[in-house]
Amino acid sequence: MSSPYTSHVRQGIMPQFGDGPGPRQVRFCLLIFHSLQRWDMLPMRLVLLLGLMIHAGLAQAAVPILQNGKPAAVIVVDATGAQGEGESILNDASQLLATSLERASGAKFVQASEAAEGPALIIARADAWPQVAKGAGLKPNAFGAYAIVPRGNHVFVLGNTEAGARHGVAALLRQWGFRWLAPSPRWWIMPKLVSLEITESQTSAPALIDRRIWYAYGMGEADLKPLQANYQRWAIANQLSLRSPVRTGHSYGHIIGRNQEAFAAHPEYYALRADGTRDSQRAVNARKFCVSNPGLVRLVIEDRRKLLEANRKVHPANTMVSIDPSDGEGVCLCKSCAALGTPSDRVFHLANAVAKGLRVTDPEAWVGLYAYSSHRLPPTIDVEPNVYVQVAMGFNRTQYSLPELVERWSKKVGAIGLREYYGVEAWDWGLPGRARGGRVGYHQEWIPFYAARKLNAINAETNANWGAQALGLYAAARLMWEPQADADQLSAEFYQLAFGKAAPVMKQFYERMETSPPLRPSVLRPFFENLETAWQQEPDEAVRQRLTDLKSYLVFVAQFREFDLVRGRNPSRDDGYYAALKTLMTDAYRMRHRDMVHYYALARRLCNGLPRTDNRPEFWMFRKEAAPVWKYGEPFTDKEITARFAKTHAALKADPDPTVNFSRYLDDVKVPGAEAGGSRIHADARKHVARFRRGLLGYLVPGGPHTVRLGIAPSSKPVSITVTMRSDIIYEKTFKAGTGFQEAKIELPRAFEYHVEITGSFELQVPPGTPFMYEASAARPAWVDYTGGHYFYVPKGTREVMVDAGPRLSIEVPGQGRRDLTPAQRAPGANHIVVKVPAGADGTVWHTHTHTRGQVSLLNIPPLLSFHRNPIFVPREISEGDGLTTQK
């Protein structure tokens, strides 16, 4: 099935023009010219065509574009064949070219809709000039491809789509030395140009037909619209897609909304739930379908047909409609649906039916959906050839790693896309190295890997945290077009163009950033020192403006650390918490126009729900009565940023606090090693048993629906256990003392990070294979009573493990044996104990010994301990930063 959704590869340089007309054809054209008594009687387009026929048989001379700082050609937009917004895209390409050349040379180029007799650069669809495109070797089915073709005294920039022609303009600018390293104009590289000419043809097609990097939270306020426009210019200049041909978003709610009367009349169209009711009462966008119902299938086919026809009228390339289920897990439980097979089989039963139905009237039709949630695994049934799947690269609760999952999907379908998570505010907060989008190494490894497995689209969510992500996203954009591009060379180019003489020290800066460093003073100080050194090495004003932007980013990072420490010490979110939040948000707001920190995304996470829950309306970002208390002040000037940077650096030098806060987005990872044996809280060694006092905070992280059986033996008083899913209690029970171990049977409905709160003093039994760990942090110390060994992970690059314990924490230090740590070993003037990490002991799992007794806090490493060597859970930023293999 020929389609733009099937994979294709980049074409190389094509200097040949194909066979031109011979002498007889040239003489024939000259006779036509000679017979015309008035040139103005001949349409200019025909004049151009005849001229091209003459020149095609001759050696191509260079076509001048710029000569001695003056325009040498007219920029022409030929909108022949353009539909919908196509003409505006071609005009935008013309504007991009003209304004860029003016910035680089001072020359003001004329933009026209028709070429005159002199030199012209013509931007058009390939089907407007089919012979030119064919002669250059432009393949008509290469979606997004372009050709740059000099013919006579004209240069044609042609695309199979209008966006393809714009990609050709971006390619020309790149060849002439222009770069858009980040959206802010401060990060645009404009060369100094005097003369330009074009002598050879070239064609290129992207390896991925859809290459999108988009903001999850957008730019929600009027004064941020210029930032959105700058982002779009960055995306266009880096040959990304602004308009996607792929449609895979959640669709069931949309279908219900378009057919409300039918669903009201036929409640049997909704999925049957476990309680025997139909799924007609939940929010519309959460409801599931009874996919075995023939009436439902007919309705969905007809609805998607109507949508496809409407979309095709807007733009003929809109050949795909989504058939993805509503967000969240769940499928119909009726007997007919159950007979269809696995949850994925049921979802793809409907997708197949729609795909076949649409092909009847539109052979080019496709249906799209995610591999996600209940239908993350490939189905056991065959998939129709016009079904397109986009694999979600997060929330993987299967038995396969993400590469394994993509591999399996690539064997099931003709082409796949990736729903990537380059940045998620709640996971990374815009901090160094936390977002995978900012890591060149991630893109260098995985984009070529997946491209070799039928990948033809990346749909990547992120936020405007360019302080952390500029280098990584710049490299990702290039690799999406050409997966075999040299990522190291792209990085070197970024350093040199952005920082000039300071490129070597800024290479250190970004390489440190990529390691996802913990927010400790000793770790943050080298970043500040790098920028100070770079400032001294490069006096160029443009470079110093970029360094000032990065200084503002580091000020934010240090401020976030202060907020995070307060947040960790104040789980109840008291006045101290809100004072720290106000400082953080005010700083982010006043930095917003630098595009280093996405203040709007930060506000959506921190100043949306919680202030309302806590009855702090003055912090609510959507407050109507007045602006939020943190939203004030003029944007920081460069001078103010420089002063804040110096003050923050000095404070970090004087700060002895080693505490690092980690997220509770947890990954189940594989780290080699063996079990250390059972605890000895009884006369004999008992595996899987531990004793705690003063309660415990734990986490259950199943990969899907899971039945957990914990044993609880209260010491002397009743013990209560509460398991919550967000704010919903899913299990709650009180156990009486004196009856030995009692079973807590907990039904976990789906994959999630469940909180487990146990009160009192007790013994806890955790069977092997239970996805459980407990917290031992500064905010929530674990009160352990002669228990071991329990397992914790020491991240790569850790040189010192900092803990607090009293009266004793007994641990096994790899290569050194048992160490007993007591308050007497605290560093002078500090409330923590330092354990040097032997060479090779970082990036490994350590464990406690039975002799541990009292309060335990792990300060600068993930404060999570597991009863078993396997599984081990670590925060997502650590698994990403350390490249750990997940067990999901």
196 and 282 part of one domain? no
d(CA 165, CA 126): 8
444 Cβ contact list (under 8 Å, min separation 6) = 475, 479, 487, 488
| CA-CA-CA-CA torsion sign (402, 403, 409, 415) | positive
Which of 149, 184, 205 is the C-terminal boundary of a domain? 205
User: What is the SS3 assignment for 765-790?
Assistant: ECCCCCCEEEECCCCCCEEEECCCCC
For 106-117, the pLDDT digits (tens) are: 999 999 999 888
Mean pLDDT of all residues in 141-160: 95
d(CA 574, CA 600): 23
287 and 341 part of one domain? yes
In a domain, 55, yes or no: no
Mean pLDDT of all residues in 518-526: 85
Mean pLDDT of all residues in 442-456: 91
Angle at CA 678, nearest 5°, toward 677 and 679?
135
Question: Looking at residue 457, what is its pLDDT?
Answer: 94
Question: Looking at residue 845, what is its pLDDT?
Answer: 94
CATH of the domain at 122: 3.30.379.10
151 and 252 part of one domain? no
Question: Looking at residue 680, what is its pLDDT?
Answer: 52
Mean pLDDT (the chain) is: 89
In a domain, 285, yes or no: yes
Where does the pLDDT of residue 50 fall: very low under 50, low under 70, confident under 90, or very high at 90 and above?
Answer: very low
Question: Looking at residue 887, what is its pLDDT?
Answer: 58
Per the structure, the count of domains in the chain is 3
Closest CA to 754 of 780, 742, 772: 772
Mean pLDDT of all residues in 277-301: 97
Asked whether the predicted pLDDT for residue 288 surpasses 90, the reply is: yes
For 742-752, the pLDDT digits (tens) are: 999 999 999 99
Question: Looking at residue 493, what is its pLDDT?
Answer: 98
d(CA 155, CA 146): 13
CA atoms within 13 A on the CB side of 638: 10
Using an 8 Å Cβ cutoff, are 613 and 726 in contact?
Answer: no
Question: Looking at residue 686, what is its pLDDT?
Answer: 58
Asked whether the predicted pLDDT for residue 84 surpasses 90, the reply is: no
Which helix (H) or strand (E) covers residue 610, if one does? helix 609-613
Where does the pLDDT of residue 676 fall: very low under 50, low under 70, confident under 90, or very high at 90 and above?
Answer: low
In a domain, 654, yes or no: no
More confident residue, 642 or 663: 642
In a domain, 715, yes or no: yes
Asked whether the predicted pLDDT for residue 127 surpasses 70, the reply is: yes
Mean pLDDT of all residues in 257-263: 97
CATH of the domain at 317: 3.20.20.80
Using an 8 Å Cβ cutoff, are 758 and 696 in contact?
Answer: yes
Tracing tokens 């180019």 back to the chain, one arrives at 493
Residue type, 280: S
In a domain, 107, yes or no: yes
Asked whether the predicted pLDDT for residue 51 surpasses 70, the reply is: no
For 621-658, the pLDDT digits (tens) are: 999 899 999 999 999 999 999 999 999 999 999 987 78
882 and 757 part of one domain? yes
d(CA 67, CA 69): 5
Question: Looking at residue 29, what is its pLDDT?
Answer: 33
Where does the pLDDT of residue 492 fall: very low under 50, low under 70, confident under 90, or very high at 90 and above?
Answer: very high
686 and 775 part of one domain? yes
Tracing tokens 């000419």 back to the chain, one arrives at 197
159 and 283 part of one domain? no
User: What is the SS3 assignment for 423-485?
Assistant: CCHHHHCCCCCCCHHHCHHHHHHHHHHHHCCCEEEEEEEECCCHHHHHHHHHHHHHHHHCCCC
Using an 8 Å Cβ cutoff, are 240 and 480 in contact?
Answer: yes
Cβ neighbour number for residue 755 with a 10 Å cutoff: 17
Tracing tokens 């999901």 back to the chain, one arrives at 888
> Is beta strand 791-794 parallel, antiparallel or unpaired with respect to 782-785?
unpaired
Question: Looking at residue 829, what is its pLDDT?
Answer: 61
Closest CA to 875 of 520, 428, 460: 428
Full domain range(s) for residue 256: 245-397+411-419
Which of 205, 235, 269 is the C-terminal boundary of a domain? 205
Mean pLDDT of all residues in 187-194: 98
More confident residue, 789 or 377: 377
User: In this structure, what are the phi and psi dihedrals at residue 698, rounded to the nearest 5 degrees?
Assistant: -130, 175
Residue type, 560: F
% of the chain surpassing 70 pLDDT: 91
Residue 88, Cα to own-chain centre: how many angstroms?
A: 29
Where does the pLDDT of residue 45 fall: very low under 50, low under 70, confident under 90, or very high at 90 and above?
Answer: low
Cβ neighbour number for residue 625 with a 10 Å cutoff: 7
d(CA 422, CA 439): 9
678 and 771 part of one domain? yes
Asked whether the predicted pLDDT for residue 662 surpasses 80, the reply is: yes
Question: Looking at residue 678, what is its pLDDT?
Answer: 55
Residue type, 331: V
Indicate the range of 807-811, 874-878, 880-884 predicted with least confidence.
Answer: 880-884
Paired strand residues for 671: none
173 and 258 part of one domain? no
For 168-182, the pLDDT digits (tens) are: 999 999 999 999 999
Tokens representing 72 are 């040498």
**SS3 call for 505:** helix
Question: Looking at residue 663, what is its pLDDT?
Answer: 87
Mean pLDDT of all residues in 692-699: 93
d(CA 861, CA 739): 37
111 Cβ contact list (under 8 Å, min separation 6) = 74, 75, 76, 77, 94, 95, 98
Indicate the range of 252-256, 433-437, 497-501 predicted with least confidence.
Answer: 433-437
Closest CA to 691 of 775, 785, 788: 785
d(CA 485, CA 494): 14
User: In this structure, what are the phi and psi dihedrals at residue 864, rounded to the nearest 5 degrees?
Assistant: -125, 130
Mean pLDDT of all residues in 745-772: 94
Which of 419, 449, 471 is the C-terminal boundary of a domain? 419
In a domain, 451, yes or no: no
d(CA 301, CA 358): 7
Mean pLDDT of all residues in 85-106: 97
Using an 8 Å Cβ cutoff, are 792 and 845 in contact?
Answer: yes
In a domain, 3, yes or no: no
762 and 848 part of one domain? yes
In a domain, 690, yes or no: yes
In total, the chain counts a number of residues equal to: 888
Asked whether the predicted pLDDT for residue 16 surpasses 60, the reply is: no
Using an 8 Å Cβ cutoff, are 695 and 760 in contact?
Answer: yes
Asked whether the predicted pLDDT for residue 12 surpasses 60, the reply is: no
Question: Looking at residue 778, what is its pLDDT?
Answer: 82
Asked whether the predicted pLDDT for residue 13 surpasses 60, the reply is: no
800 and 866 part of one domain? yes
770 and 676 part of one domain? yes
Where does the pLDDT of residue 254 fall: very low under 50, low under 70, confident under 90, or very high at 90 and above?
Answer: very high
User: What is the SS3 assignment for 795-817?
Assistant: CCCCCEEEEEEEEEEEEEECCCE
d(CA 551, CA 534): 11
Q: What is the DSSP letter of 828?
A: T
Q: What is the DSSP letter of 636?
A: P
307 and 179 part of one domain? no
